Structure 1
Amino acid sequence: MKSFLRSMLAAFVALVLFFGGGFALLMLAVAMFSFVGKSAGPRVPTVPSGAFLVVNLDTHFRDAPAGPPDFTMALLGGGHLPPTVPLRRALDAIRTAADDERIKGVVIFGGDSATGIAERRELRAALADFKESGKPIRAYLSLASRSQYYLASVADKIALDPFGFVAIPGLASQGLFFKNAFEKLGVGVQVTRVGKYKSAVEPFTSDGLSEENREQTQMLLNDVWGSLLGDMAASRGLEVSEIQAAVDAEGVLLAESALKHGLVDELVYRDEFLAAMRAEAGHGSDGAGNRSFKQISLQKYSRALRAGERAGVFVEKAAAEKKKSVAGEAGGARKPRGRVAVLYAEGAIVDGRGGPGQIGGERFAQELRTLREDSRVSAIVLRVNSPGGSASASEAIQRELSLAAQSKPVVVSMGSVAASGGYWISTPAQRIFAEPVTITGSIGVVGVFFNIESLSEKLGLNFETVKTSRFADTGAIDRPLTAAELSIAQRSVDWIYDKFIERVAEGRGLAPDFVHEIAQGRVWSGLRAQRLGLVDELGGLGEAIAYAAEAAGLEQGRYRVSEYPRPTQFGEALAEFFEEFMQEGFGEARALKANAVVRGLWQRAASELRALESYNDPQHVYARLPLILELN
């Protein structure tokens, strides 16, 4: 009965959201679900003894802590709501499972999600740590993409559907350019910039890649692909050249070919794989009412661990054990308890408070100020996943982080993207960690000015202006900037670029001339950025937290990790509700997914249009990564 009610309520909420029902109806649904949950007792998942931990790769492993999912793209994409797990909780769960006697091993099932490339690498590292425990990792793939195979390649044994394939042809970056469309619409764009590689505005001003942009993108792709290929080859006991030759020759490797080239270990149907797992682990349920092998999903296992964390202390044990002491030993004395604050900077950097998925300069600076002044916070880890944005907002955040660094250790952990303004805000850190596949750098500045002069003429609109001085209406959308106004804008861009160089040189201990040489708006991989001195260490969020704790003199096992911005209790409850809702009530909805091509086109267009909303700097000056830089 309880399962039936949950499914009914899940369907009800889906209808409310899809047909635009009011907020009150959604709250009513949540209240009804809470009533059902309370009447049935606590809903803490049980971990079966001897179970396999199931990692579904269609899970979205996001940086920020708990919060309700974004339904917009999911519903427009055909009703698919992928399960979501905060990255740090997923990493901790996988590493904890290595020492958990109840967990017998890990099973990886294929699937694609919006998880970033650096976050996938962190997950893979956690799975590699799990593997060192001696417990088995199995993987089952059907139509394996690059991102699926990259994670699954860590497994001891990979099974592939006989009618499946492995598609790991490499990486590509495809740009979307608006210049011709803007001209047809009558929208004008004027640009001021510094840095020959600063290509953030190319989508608006050009109909193709500049030579400089093509050069930097090619180098970035080569670095990232080389890192991914090296990881896959090492796990499979192959040479990089062997995998490269196979994918260059065939592009998509059909099942027999994938087996022949050593990319998989066996070809079996899903029912055969499940039967083998039942023989190894015993009978159980897959969580959806189907008879399967004894298992628990990563989402539920993480929730079970978290239920225990609420009464204890969360420590990045696995990462801390790998790090050498930074603070040194205090004569054998017990080191004090404390707290490491992890602050998530995720999204475009915008002026003001910002909205969902954005880093508002005013709001974020206030959050940093609170952490700086909180005596309970011993160290701050800034987790950056941002392409940058407003220069003035980036400076406001950088200023607060600089002040914090004067009183406590400040460490930066870079995710998939920490570039331009995302790098600007990282400069005060005592230590910067990045993955080899992180996109960073892009130290440059642009000014962007849109106008609708031609469009207004087409529409028969007329603007009349009255002003008191020559430049009073600078930036008005009814006309282009004059030569004098463009000169003023360029002067502002030049000045801000010099300040950007100054921030990097001071924060990284580098000569300004050298910073100027490697800046120019050029993007770098995390691997190359480390060689240039823009990054200190290659590693993930766990390593950054461990370093910050040790730098603050905190002893392993005697500090707490707190995440910010903090979700409200209601937000966490709502997030947990949606986790179950997506797993149980929406399980069948995956069959309703829209055509992948149509969905991909819509998501790409929507992503580009949403990015335009972040162009709100009052001076129209931006430290922003190129919009077109997407790795596929």
Structure 2
Amino acid sequence: MVMRYATIVLSGRYREIPHAGHSPAARLADRHAFCYSEFSATLHALRRSRTLKRALIECREDFLPGYNSAAEAIRRDLVALRDSGVELHFYAPRYSEAALYIASGCNYRYIAPLGTIALTGFGATFVFLRRLLERKGVHAEVFKRGAYKSAADGLRSDSLDPAVRRQYQEYFDVQQREFNRTVCDGMSRSISQINELIEGRVLHDTEAVEQGWVSEVISLEQLQQRWKDSKTRAKQLKIRSRGYGRGKQVAVLAIDGAIVEGRSRRDPLMGTAVGSRSLVQQITTLRENKKCAAVVLRINSPGGSAAASELIRHELLRLGERKPLVASMSTVAASGGYWIACAAPLILAERTTLTGSIGVIGLVMTAAKLFHRLGISFHALKTGPFRDLGTPVRAMTADEKQLVDREIEYTYQRFLTLVAASRKISVEHVHQLGQGRIWDGAEALQQRLVDEIGGLPQAVERAAAIAGVSSAGVRFYPQHKPTLLERLLASRSGNALLSQSSAAFAPGMPAHGYCAPAQLAAAFEALRREPLAILPQALYSTLHSTLLSM
């Protein structure tokens, strides 16, 4: 009798869904990303199959889950698949934290010849551009509310403030503890064994087998050939990336990227950006869709424009008047991402989700010295004193600074008020939890900022139950139907064109014909006056590379 197995590939940078609404080249470049929506559809197909009782999880070296909460979600879903009766075989050329964490939930683990297990712990490197800005003749005027609000610190300082350093160190410690607990339980390891690896010991292939970390040293091709010889054949699953299941629909609306006003696009400062206009149109469509019984808001966003976040939240409140709305936090749902989550009566988060960051910043970039050095001069004509507020060609006046500061204070108070109303706690208590402070999902649950610990499958179940739907189909939004040109470019013959065109969309990388002053001007315009609710990692890549190229 011929046995069948399916292969699940973990490869590329983590995303919730494939890009929708960007240029064809950006969407084609995104083909190589790991899309959680497609992963979920694959697991659904495996659970429904009567013949597939084995799965090969191939973790490639380019797999970048980002925050540990992405690995947490993937592992939890695989464990559920294992518990349903599917035997899981995990293969990786070498094991880092993410690979080992996910592998700990599988039945068997394999490593490539000369492969290693090397752990380095959790952390991040923060970039500080103040002195570079000064050398280039650029000044950053920062307005903020919240001692922990650090999104613009890299432009005004040379190091982390003590409070900011403390909160991020606490978050990385939480990730490390969650990793230790899960791996110890899943692989019968001890904390001392994990600490030994973090402190610099590297386990090579045979050592990893001898000490029980993995089952066998073998190449992927050898493993597949062994199964083939034992009459175990690979089966290609047919999945629909737009969703899975039948019956009344639970729509999963993904907010995947920084939040901006207007259309979804590649933003000159924030990279992949979710536009309020694009998302509001999608929300309106779902509200009117009779096949849609409930909506799960899947948030993977560090925040962005406060105004755009409020537009989206306002439309979600209207949707919630007609249909059940549940928020599911992915890797990060902070600042503007949390602002939007407050539209939902029920919020779920992973244990290590980065959330909170209830605070606001304003950032005005000026470059009077740079323009003087370049021999460029300006003369403004205006009928009002604030007509050119935020212009990069001169320093801000005291009155302008006072006006912007009032706007930041107003926006922060709005943020506090809407969180207090959503979470049914006092504004004063929200302020204590806020001030830009980040929380992991487990702490957020204790502080009543979220309602439950769980992932997307649990959020879908809760939404379906509230809607009174016993068997629901899941559909992912926004959706994009490929054009004929995109299908042609996605073929093998289009690979060369893809490699050329996609370079223009790599964050922080200059493409052919790149004009640093023009992109710098676009970045300044993006920051002009508008209050931002955003985390620091989302703010610097383009600005950093632009200044270095000048």
Q: Which TM class, normalised by the smaller chain length?
A: 0.7 to 0.9
Q: Does 2:123 match 1:172?
A: yes
Q: Equivalent residue for 2:260?
A: 350
Aligned-residue offset at 1:248:
3.2
Question: Could you tell me whether the CA contact under 8 Å between 1:71 and 1:81 is conserved in 2?
Answer: no
Amino acid at match of 1:110: C
Cα gap change, 1:561/1:502 in structure 2, threshold over 3 Å: closer, same or farther?
Answer: same
Aligned-residue offset at 1:365:
2.1
Cα gap change, 1:65/1:627 in structure 2, threshold over 3 Å: closer, same or farther?
Answer: closer
Cα gap change, 1:236/1:101 in structure 2, threshold over 3 Å: closer, same or farther?
Answer: same
Amino acid at match of 1:184: R
**CA distance in structure 2 between the aligned counterparts of 1:408 and 1:614, rounded to whole angstroms:** 40
Q: Equivalent residue for 1:109?
A: 58
Q: Secondary structure at the match of 2:341?
A: coil
Aligned-residue offset at 1:440:
0.9
Q: Equivalent residue for 1:57?
A: 10
**CA distance in structure 1 between the aligned counterparts of 2:376 and 2:474, rounded to whole angstroms:** 57
- The structure 2 residue matched to 1:393, chosen from 308, 332, 346, is 308
Q: Secondary structure at the match of 2:148?
A: coil
Question: Could you tell me whether the CA contact under 8 Å between 2:361 and 2:408 is conserved in 1?
Answer: yes
Equivalence map 1:33-72=2 (5 Å):
50-59=3-12, 62-65=15-18
Q: Equivalent residue for 1:237?
A: 188
Deviations along 1:311-366, whole A, 9 cap, x unmatched?
xx725xxxxxxxxxxxxxxxxxxxxx643222111111112223153221223223
Aligned-residue offset at 1:604:
6.1
Cα gap change, 1:280/1:95 in structure 2, threshold over 3 Å: closer, same or farther?
Answer: farther
**CA distance in structure 2 between the aligned counterparts of 1:84 and 1:459, rounded to whole angstroms:** 41
Question: Could you tell me whether the CA contact under 8 Å between 2:18 and 2:27 is conserved in 1?
Answer: no
**CA distance in structure 1 between the aligned counterparts of 2:539 and 2:168, rounded to whole angstroms:** 8
**CA distance in structure 2 between the aligned counterparts of 1:126 and 1:578, rounded to whole angstroms:** 33
Question: Could you tell me whether the CA contact under 8 Å between 1:390 and 1:617 is conserved in 2?
Answer: no
Q: Equivalent residue for 1:13?
A: none
Question: Could you tell me whether the CA contact under 8 Å between 1:505 and 1:511 is conserved in 2?
Answer: yes
Task: Give me the CA root mean square deviation.
Answer: 3.5
- The structure 1 residue matched to 2:478, chosen from 565, 570, 576, is 565
Equivalence map 1:102-501=2 (5 Å):
102-111=51-60, 112-117=62-67, 118-239=69-190, 241-270=191-220, 272-282=222-232, 294-296=233-235, 300-301=236-237, 304-306=238-240, 314=245, 338-356=248-266, 357-501=272-416
**CA distance in structure 2 between the aligned counterparts of 1:376 and 1:411, rounded to whole angstroms:** 17
Amino acid at match of 2:457: G
Question: Could you tell me whether the CA contact under 8 Å between 1:389 and 1:615 is conserved in 2?
Answer: no
Aligned-residue offset at 1:155:
1.9
Q: Does 2:534 match 1:624?
A: yes
Aligned-residue offset at 1:182:
1.1
Q: Equivalent residue for 1:320?
A: none
Amino acid at match of 2:536: P
Amino acid at match of 1:561: V
Cα gap change, 1:565/1:306 in structure 2, threshold over 3 Å: closer, same or farther?
Answer: closer
**CA distance in structure 2 between the aligned counterparts of 1:99 and 1:375, rounded to whole angstroms:** 27
Q: Equivalent residue for 2:548?
A: none
Cα gap change, 1:629/1:510 in structure 2, threshold over 3 Å: closer, same or farther?
Answer: farther
- The structure 2 residue matched to 1:534, chosen from 449, 464, 471, is 449
User: Among the aligned pairs, what percent are the same residue?
Assistant: 29
Cα gap change, 1:470/1:580 in structure 2, threshold over 3 Å: closer, same or farther?
Answer: closer
Question: Could you tell me whether the CA contact under 8 Å between 1:351 and 1:618 is conserved in 2?
Answer: no
**CA distance in structure 2 between the aligned counterparts of 1:575 and 1:82, rounded to whole angstroms:** 11
Cα gap change, 1:410/1:124 in structure 2, threshold over 3 Å: closer, same or farther?
Answer: same
**CA distance in structure 2 between the aligned counterparts of 1:526 and 1:614, rounded to whole angstroms:** 34
**CA distance in structure 2 between the aligned counterparts of 1:348 and 1:462, rounded to whole angstroms:** 34
Question: Could you tell me whether the CA contact under 8 Å between 2:8 and 2:58 is conserved in 1?
Answer: yes
**CA distance in structure 2 between the aligned counterparts of 1:628 and 1:369, rounded to whole angstroms:** 28
Question: Could you tell me whether the CA contact under 8 Å between 1:136 and 1:156 is conserved in 2?
Answer: yes
Aligned-residue offset at 1:387:
0.9
Question: Could you tell me whether the CA contact under 8 Å between 2:10 and 2:63 is conserved in 1?
Answer: yes
Cα gap change, 1:375/1:82 in structure 2, threshold over 3 Å: closer, same or farther?
Answer: closer
Q: Equivalent residue for 2:514?
A: none
Cα gap change, 1:72/1:546 in structure 2, threshold over 3 Å: closer, same or farther?
Answer: same
Question: Could you tell me whether the CA contact under 8 Å between 2:151 and 2:535 is conserved in 1?
Answer: yes
Question: Could you tell me whether the CA contact under 8 Å between 2:13 and 2:33 is conserved in 1?
Answer: yes
Q: Secondary structure at the match of 2:399?
A: helix
Aligned-residue offset at 1:501:
0.6
Q: Equivalent residue for 1:17?
A: none
Cα gap change, 1:69/1:480 in structure 2, threshold over 3 Å: closer, same or farther?
Answer: closer
Q: Secondary structure at the match of 1:91?
A: helix
The higher radius of gyration belongs to 1
Q: Secondary structure at the match of 1:144?
A: coil
Question: Could you tell me whether the CA contact under 8 Å between 2:113 and 2:218 is conserved in 1?
Answer: yes
**CA distance in structure 2 between the aligned counterparts of 1:71 and 1:222, rounded to whole angstroms:** 40
Aligned-residue offset at 1:281:
4.3
Aligned-residue offset at 1:426:
0.8
**CA distance in structure 2 between the aligned counterparts of 1:367 and 1:494, rounded to whole angstroms:** 31
Deviations along 1:531-585, whole A, 9 cap, x unmatched?
21111111111211111111112222xx4433322322x35x7777777649xx9
**CA distance in structure 1 between the aligned counterparts of 2:125 and 2:36, rounded to whole angstroms:** 27
Aligned-residue offset at 1:452:
0.9
Amino acid at match of 1:306: R
Cα gap change, 1:233/1:497 in structure 2, threshold over 3 Å: closer, same or farther?
Answer: same
**CA distance in structure 2 between the aligned counterparts of 1:163 and 1:71, rounded to whole angstroms:** 40
Aligned-residue offset at 1:264:
1.5
Q: How many residues align?
A: 521
Amino acid at match of 1:225: Q
**CA distance in structure 2 between the aligned counterparts of 1:502 and 1:433, rounded to whole angstroms:** 21
Question: Could you tell me whether the CA contact under 8 Å between 1:413 and 1:541 is conserved in 2?
Answer: yes
Q: Secondary structure at the match of 2:322?
A: coil
Deviations along 1:194-244, whole A, 9 cap, x unmatched?
0000000012112222212211111111112222232222211223x1343
Q: Secondary structure at the match of 2:125?
A: coil
| Structure 2 gaps, min length 5 | 267-271, 512-518, 541-550
| Structure 1 gaps, min length 5 | 1-47, 283-293, 316-336, 591-598
Question: Could you tell me whether the CA contact under 8 Å between 1:203 and 1:627 is conserved in 2?
Answer: no
